[in-house]
Amino acid sequence: MEFTILFLATAVVMLVAWRGPRPLAFGLFAAVLIACVATYLHHATDTLKLSF
């Protein structure tokens, strides 16, 4: 679910960058980038329960 939200947020940022003011596009891009990094770190630090 969070990946869908990140994808839609990226699409919104691209639309704002195309039509909207530049500072708003940079701000939204920074927010989405922080959210992507936070999502990556959340999933990268999960411990895998492997049984061999």
Which among 38, 12, 45 has a CA at the least distance from the CA of 27? 12
pLDDT at 30: 98
Write the CB contacts of 13 (distance below 8 Å, at least 6 apart in sequence).
Answer: 25, 28, 29, 32
The whole-model pTM stands at 0.81
pLDDT at 23: 95
Q: Render pLDDT for 5-51 as a digit per residue (tens, 0 to 9).
A: 999 999 999 999 999 999 999 999 999 999 999 999 998 988 888 88
